[in-house]
Amino acid sequence: MDVALLTLFAVAALASLFMSWVIGAGSSGATPFAPAVGANAIPTMRAAFVVGIFGFLGAVTQGANVSEAVGSGLVGGVSLPASGVIVALVIGAGLMAVGIRTGYPIATAFTVTGAVIGVGLALGGTPVWPKYRQIGAVWVLTPFVGGGIAYVIASLLPRRDVPERFSIAALAGLVGAVLANVEFTSLGPGGSAGSLVDLGRRLLSVEGAAAAVGLSLVVAVAVGLLVHLDVRRDETGALRRMLLALGSLVAFSAGASQVGLAVGPLLPLLDEVGVASTFSVLVGGGVGILVGSWTGAPRMIKSLAQDYSSLGPRRSIAALVPSFLIAQLAVLLGVPVSFNEIVVSAIIGSGVAVGGREAISARKLLMTAGAWVASFVLAFSLAYGFGAVFQP
């Protein structure tokens, strides 16, 4: 085995682990439970602990899709060498660390995507325009779709003509139906990916779209009925439990998506080095996210929970439902997506529905959006420059 190559891979793996830690301390660790902390449903330190656990589970059971897209779907014609992987991850993690230090939620997806594309093009790769259009569409539409859905939900929840034992139950049923169709590692035939609905169809020996729809409806009704009874028995407690459940699901989805930004660039090197499997790399990335969530996320959680708007449980639920839906769509498409963008946009939508424009800080939002755009441009420029200078 080439010792030099193995050494470079080890350095790249350490850079990937550091990136995982930064993700856990930043976007993946902070955003899922920021609304719950803002609504006083859970203390900051406990939120960081819970989000780390669910982020790890998401990384291990759902992380392969985005990891493969980041590893081989962003640049055509070349495979990043170990040195290119190191450059991309160090630049992405470095910019994220600046965001954590300053308290501004720089988007991980923007920094890593920009860095990987920059290095790849500098090394002679070709642009993958269909993937770029898909990524660009998700990035551009997320604030409008997420904020719009959150606005509608936040507008409906406090209405007297829409009792919350029905509205909250309907939202829970929708989330349950989506979760039943989410694909997890090893749930499919022969250890392939599959959903709970797929598992149910195999157990019941039924096939076809009608069976999938029927099983999804059964899950939706069952979850909705449980939440309905819970709200009738204890409305305040039920809202808190719903909020914590949604935060956990968003944390799970964050781990599934964000781990790809950390370990995706490593995947093309695995066959060449032959010392690790995709699953083991995902586990390593998940551990990094977990440790980052426990040690570094509280600062960002506090920043998001307090600085963007004063959240109650209803507005927090309104923010987390679209966050979960968009996150799972991105995982399905294999698109690297920013959880800062998803959750912050949803927080804005729910805030405007209740308190109008006065409920949010325009200055903070403009600075955050500027940091997102600048992080992509800066990451791309730095990575392209390093790649052009140090290309083999």
Segment 87-106, tens digit of pLDDT: 888 888 788 777 767 766 57
The mean predicted confidence, pLDDT, of the chain is: 86
Whether the pLDDT of residue 392 is over 70: the answer is: no
Closest CA to 32 of 361, 328, 388: 328
Segment 10-51, tens digit of pLDDT: 888 888 898 898 888 876 777 788 777 877 778 888 888 999
CA separation for the pair 340, 301 (Å, rounded)? 11
What mean pLDDT comes out for the span 246-264? 92
Whether the pLDDT of residue 375 is over 90: the answer is: no
Full domain range(s) for residue 339: 3-390
What mean pLDDT comes out for the span 148-153? 93
**Confidence (pLDDT) at 35:** 72
Whether the pLDDT of residue 359 is over 60: the answer is: no
Whether the pLDDT of residue 281 is over 70: the answer is: yes
Segment 47-67, tens digit of pLDDT: 889 999 999 999 999 998 899
Whether the pLDDT of residue 159 is over 80: the answer is: no
User: Considering its fold, how many domains does the chain have in total?
Assistant: 1
**Confidence (pLDDT) at 306:** 66
When mean pLDDT is compared across 81-90, 151-160, 182-191, 227-236, the lowest value belongs to 182-191
pLDDT > 90 fraction of the chain, expressed in percent and rounded: 41
